[in-house]
């Protein structure tokens, strides 16, 4: 039962952080290349445009949810399971979600990279 | 004479870019192709910022939190004490800098391109632990470092931006309010050359 709770917590963390990353990435694509905008209209215009983007706030909220659910999951389960599992599953989940929702071309090169990084993070934190 | 011809040439180039712009719906790709070297340097600087700020900020934060002790839900005033700790305060500032450079990177690169860069921070931390703090790094961790570095190498060799601008109408309608896309790109190109 405790095991189930731990994995449920991990899944919540992974889901929230994938949602957050996708929303933030989408928001920044809507804002456009920050450097070009900065040259053209100045820093405050960039800040204003980022802060007026609703996807940005949804993304930050999802990241906050991910952060606090990670804290709760860490209080239930082992640190050596929860932290690496959440980090590495987030990488895999992000690759899937970026392909589906952001229409990024996740080719074989990037799949291999996602799997390698996920495995590496799991080993480092474990 | 030569300078004059050069400036004439560059003006012609600019006109070509401007003429080409209306059909390329978003300037980033075009900019990257026209001005590859400078964009790449800037790109790596921002990605290095993402890596370094995340790693250093996280480690300063954890160092500071170990000094202040546990913070529990029942003693929330402990949080205020924690922020008063200089390590924690600097850690928070660095994580804000990380967030800014992460958002910056996401504005011109794919999520699946930027994410492996953030994972390089783990490698950085392990190397700092080994060579600056003289801690033992176990073989499992070395294997993890090797895997992450390999993954980053795989992504870094490919293109940074692959997502086609499928959402042309809603976001770019917003862009259009600030002026034509021409204005978006021309100053950026000249600014980049000056640097």
B115: nearest CB among A32, A94, A105: A94
* Residue of higher predicted confidence among B25 and A37: A37
| ipTM of this predicted structure | 0.88
Percent of chain B with pLDDT over 90: 14
Window B:69-98, CB contacts with A under 8 Å: none
pLDDT on residue B73: 62
A1 — pLDDT class (breaks 50, 70, 90): confident
A39 — pLDDT class (breaks 50, 70, 90): confident
- C-alpha distances out from residue B150 to A91, A110, A114, A124, Å: 15, 11, 10, 14
B148: nearest CB among A94, A109, A117: A117
pLDDT on residue B147: 92
pLDDT digits (tens, 9 = 90+) for A82-105: 888 898 899 999 999 999 999 888
Q: Which of A92-96, B96-100, B102-106, B113-117 has the lowest mean pLDDT?
A: B113-117
A·B CB contacts under 8 A: 150
B103: nearest CB among A28, A32, A117: A28
Put simply, whether B139 touches A (Cβ < 8 Å) is: no
Q: Give the gap in angstroms from C-alpha A28 to the nearest C-alpha of chain B.
A: 5
Using CA coordinates, name the residue in chain A closest to B42: A35
Give me the sign of the Cα torsion angle A48, A53, A57, A59.
Answer: negative
Tally of domains in chain A: 1
The mean per-residue pLDDT over the stretch B104-121 comes to 87
Window B:15-54, CB contacts with A under 8 Å: 26-28, 31, 42
Domain that residue A113 falls in: 2-125
Put simply, whether A83 touches B (Cβ < 8 Å) is: no
Window B:105-134, CB contacts with A under 8 Å: 106-108, 110-116, 119, 122, 126
DSSP letter for each residue of B158-179: S-S-------THHHHHHHHHTS
Token pair listed for B110: 């794919």
CA distance A36 to B193: 13
Percent of chain A with pLDDT over 90: 48
Residue A60: which residues within 8 A CB-CB, separation 6 or more? Answer: A20, A24
Q: Is the CB of B162 less than 8 angstroms away from the CB of A104?
A: yes
B111: nearest CB among A25, A119, A125: A25
Put simply, whether A117 touches B (Cβ < 8 Å) is: yes
pLDDT on residue B117: 79
Q: Is the CB of B140 less than 8 angstroms away from the CB of A105?
A: no
Of residues A118, A92, A25, the one with CA closest to residue B163: A25
Are B129 and B137 a contacting pair, CB within 8 Å?
A: yes
pLDDT digits (tens, 9 = 90+) for B160-187: 787 655 444 344 434 444 444 443 443 3
The mean per-residue pLDDT over the stretch A56-80 comes to 88
pLDDT on residue A26: 94
0.90 exceeded by pTM: no
- Whether B26 has a pLDDT exceeding 80, the answer reads no
């Amino acid at each position: 039962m405790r095991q189930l709770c731990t994995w449920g917590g991990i899944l919540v963390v992974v889901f929230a952080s994938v949602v957050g990353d996708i929303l933030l990435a989408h928001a920044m694509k809507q804002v456009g290349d920050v450097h070009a905008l900065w040259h053209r209209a100045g820093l405050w215009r960039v800040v204003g445009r980022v802060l007026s983007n609703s996807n940005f706030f949804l993304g930050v909220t999802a990241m906050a949810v991910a952060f606090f659910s990670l804290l709760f999951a860490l209080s239930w389960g082992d640190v050596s399971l929860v932290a690496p599992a959440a980090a590495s599953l987030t990488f895999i989940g992000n690759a899937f979600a970026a392909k589906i929702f952001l229409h990024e071309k996740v080719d074989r090169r990037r799949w291999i990279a996602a799997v390698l990084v996920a495995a590496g993070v799991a080993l480092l934190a474990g | 004479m030569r300078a004059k011809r050069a400036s004439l040439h560059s003006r012609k180039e600019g006109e070509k870019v401007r003429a080409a712009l209306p059909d390329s719906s978003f300037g980033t790709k075009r900019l990257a192709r026209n001005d590859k070297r400078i964009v790449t340097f800037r790109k790596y600087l921002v990605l290095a910022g993402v890596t370094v700020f995340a790693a250093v900020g996280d480690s300063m934060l954890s160092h500071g939190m170990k000094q202040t002790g546990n913070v529990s839900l029942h003693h929330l005033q402990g949080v205020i004490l924690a922020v008063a700790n200089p390590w924690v305060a600097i850690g928070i500032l660095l994580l804000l800098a990380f967030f800014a450079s992460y958002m910056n990177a996401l504005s011109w690169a794919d999520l699946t391109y930027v994410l492996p860069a953030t994972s390089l921070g783990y490698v950085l931390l392990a190397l700092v632990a080994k060579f600056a703090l003289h801690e033992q790094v176990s073989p499992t961790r070395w294997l993890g470092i090797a895997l992450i570095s390999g993954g980053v190498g795989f992504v870094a060799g490919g293109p940074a931006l692959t997502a086609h601008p499928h959402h042309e109408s809603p976001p770019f309608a917003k862009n259009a309010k600030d002026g034509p896309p021409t204005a978006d790109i021309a100053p950026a190109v000249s600014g980049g050359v000056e640097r």
